[in-house]
């Protein structure tokens, strides 16, 4: 079911190729959907909803009323509601630390410089609403925008057969989402990016979805900002002799159950742990419900890599740049300075990735497919925009004018130079 691998380069090559394995097959369909919604607005949006979600939608039933959202929240199981509110409090506390403030400085000659930081005005969130419906993702995407001060937060979520997911709606109400639209897929992304007669255009689109949603976000980038092009879930666990085999096996399976393309990798320098973890994976597999998904991901993109030492494990982890990285070693903090590329790092035997998914407070919207080399977790900063502010009185201007003019002339931009020279006449 899962291999112990010593010659790991072929496995890493297969892992790298996973990112583009399905893109071309779906890209043409996504482009057609996006272009059709851009051209025909509501008519195309409603037609695709009928085609893919199998129910009739029109302007009168396109979004939930505030009373419907409140009812969904109030009818949640009280224990679940308590958990949602605890998650909200912890996420908001974390995100408030992420905020960047405006700053200004005055130079000795009187020049005034700075950055004004403002929230985006309207953002669009996407939340799966069918087989994969995650209220935790609603909180993780909406609350950073709330903390940033975004005025309008729209949520698009599909309703297969016209049936809503009450937990997703309750989470949206708890998070403070402004409007919830009953649309999904690439057509929902296009509607939020272009705007239709019934769906307003947004400044940025974030949130998880299937490959059609991911490719649609890529297609509309430039019309609206996006968080990233999300790929299948990933976990990489570096473990030494101190790790518990059942712990690392359970954590690996926790990500493998997401998607047939999900990746779960254990890297260890302990052959005994490798063998024990493999047995534990087989045992725990029999106890879990998503067996078909698990079987596919375990065979294709999961593996136990046996290396000579933990330093080699760290080197491989930095090459892969995983979404989730667990350091299941005796002294995890000693490894932390050596980790360069990871979406989130979980230190120690009692910090499972699942803790970060729900209640730690950090965001679980993380870079995938090796993009942790240059992308970061979703945060309140992603819903802010920065504007440079510059003001120079005449004396400060004259102190730099001749050098500005010379710089412009060096670049052959005599219009730039002239705009300075005119002020010196």
CATH code of residue 203: 3.40.50.1980
Question: How many other CB atoms are found less than 10 A from the CB of residue 28?
Answer: 10
Residues 112 and 144 both lie in one domain:
yes
Q: Are 237 and 277 in contact (CB under 8 A)?
A: no
Report if residue 76 sits inside a domain. no
Q: How far apart are CA 393 and CA 22, in angstroms?
A: 57
Report if residue 367 sits inside a domain. yes
Residues 208 and 311 both lie in one domain:
no
Domain boundary among 174, 204, 226: 226
Question: What is the rounded average pLDDT of the residues 316-331?
Answer: 98
Per the rule left: phi > 0, alpha: psi between -120 and 50, beta: everything else, 183 is beta
> What is the pLDDT at residue 175?
98
Of the CA atoms within 13 Å of residue 74, those in its CB half-sphere come to: 6
> What is the pLDDT at residue 325?
98
Residues 213 and 320 both lie in one domain:
no
Residues 242 and 113 both lie in one domain:
no
Report if residue 288 sits inside a domain. yes
- CA distance from start to end of the chain: 80
Report if residue 96 sits inside a domain. no
Q: Are 363 and 379 in contact (CB under 8 A)?
A: yes
Report if residue 106 sits inside a domain. yes
Residues 238 and 307 both lie in one domain:
yes
Please state whether the predicted TM-score (pTM) of the whole model is above 0.85: yes
Q: What is the pLDDT of residues 81-115, one digit of tens each?
A: 999 999 999 999 999 999 999 999 999 889 999 99
Q: Percentage of residues in the chain with pLDDT exceeding 70?
A: 98
Question: How many other CB atoms are found less than 10 A from the CB of residue 86?
Answer: 13
Q: Percentage of residues in the chain with pLDDT exceeding 90?
A: 90
Residues 149 and 66 both lie in one domain:
yes
Report if residue 382 sits inside a domain. no
Report if residue 31 sits inside a domain. no
Of residues 257, 258, 280, 324, which has the active-site annotation? 324
Residues 106 and 15 both lie in one domain:
no
> What is the pLDDT at residue 22?
54
Report if residue 122 sits inside a domain. yes
Helix, strand or coil for residue 155? strand
Mean pLDDT of the chain: 95
> What is the pLDDT at residue 122?
98
Q: How many domains does the chain have?
A: 3
Structure tokens at 253: 């399976």
Interstrand relation of 384-391 and 112-119 (parallel, antiparallel or unpaired):
antiparallel
pLDDT at residue 157 tops 80: yes
Residues 251 and 143 both lie in one domain:
no
The candidate with the shortest Cα–Cα distance to 256, out of 290, 306, 230, 282, is: 290
79 in active site: no
Residue 399: domain span: 393-421
Q: Are 226 and 217 in contact (CB under 8 A)?
A: yes
Residues 129 and 171 both lie in one domain:
yes
40 in active site: no
Residues 347 and 417 both lie in one domain:
no
> What is the pLDDT at residue 116?
97
Structure tokens at 403: 């050098």
- Please, which residues bridge with residue 125 across strands? 155, 206
Q: What is the pLDDT of residues 130-139, one digit of tens each?
A: 666 799 999 9
Q: Are 84 and 92 in contact (CB under 8 A)?
A: no
Domain boundary among 176, 200, 226: 226
Q: What is the pLDDT of residues 339-350, one digit of tens each?
A: 999 999 999 999
Residues 58 and 130 both lie in one domain:
yes
Q: Are 156 and 126 in contact (CB under 8 A)?
A: yes
Residues 160 and 298 both lie in one domain:
no
Of residues 98, 179, 323, 353, which has the active-site annotation? 323
């Amino acid at each position: 079911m899962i291999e112990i691998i010593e010659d790991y380069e072929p496995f890493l090559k297969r892992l790298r190729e996973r990112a583009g394995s399905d893109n071309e097959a779906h890209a043409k369909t996504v482009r057609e959907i996006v272009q059709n919604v851009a051209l025909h607005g509501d008519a195309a949006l409603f037609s695709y909803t009928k085609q893919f979600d199998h129910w009739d939608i029109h302007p009168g039933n396109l979004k939930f009323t505030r009373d419907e959202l409140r009812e969904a929240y109030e009818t949640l199981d009280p224990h679940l509601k308590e958990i949602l509110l605890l998650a909200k409090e912890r996420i908001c506390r974390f995100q408030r630390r992420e905020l960047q403030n405006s700053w200004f400085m005055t130079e000795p000659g009187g020049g005034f410089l700075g950055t004004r930081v403002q929230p985006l005005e309207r953002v669009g969130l996407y939340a799966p609403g069918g087989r994969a419906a995650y209220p935790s993702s609603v909180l993780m995407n909406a609350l950073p925008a709330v903390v940033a001060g975004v005025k309008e937060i729209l949520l698009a979520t599909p309703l297969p057969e016209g049936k809503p997911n009450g937990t997703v709606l309750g989470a949206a109400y708890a998070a403070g989402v402004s409007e919830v639209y009953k649309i999904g897929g690439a057509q929902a992304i296009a509607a939020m990016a272009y705007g239709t007669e019934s769906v307003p255009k947004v400044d940025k689109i974030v949130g998880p979805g299937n490959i059609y949603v991911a490719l649609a976000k890529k297609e509309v980038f430039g019309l609206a900002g996006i968080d990233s092009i999300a790929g299948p879930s990933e976990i990489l666990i570096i473990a030494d002799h101190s790790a518990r085999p059942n712990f690392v096996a359970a954590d690996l399976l926790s990500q493998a159950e997401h998607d047939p393309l999900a990746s779960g990798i254990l890297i260890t320098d302990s052959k005994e742990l490798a063998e024990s973890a493999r047995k534990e994976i087989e045992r725990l597999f029999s106890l879990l419900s998503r067996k078909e998904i698990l079987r596919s991901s375990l065979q294709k993109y999961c593996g136990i890599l046996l290396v000579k030492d933990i330093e080699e494990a760290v080197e491989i982890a930095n090459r892969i740049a995983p979404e989730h990285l667990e350091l299941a070693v005796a002294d995890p903090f000693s490894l932390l300075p050596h980790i360069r590329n990871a979406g989130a790092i979980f230190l120690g035997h009692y910090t499972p990735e699942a803790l970060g998914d729900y209640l730690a407070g950090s965001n679980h919207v993380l870079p995938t497919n090796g993009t942790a080399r240059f992308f970061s977790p979703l945060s309140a900063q992603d819903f802010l925009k920065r504007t440079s502010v510059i003001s120079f009185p005449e004396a400060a201007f004259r102190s730099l004018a001749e050098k500005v003019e010379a710089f412009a002339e060096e670049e052959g931009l005599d219009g730039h130079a002239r705009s300075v020279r005119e002020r010196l006449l």
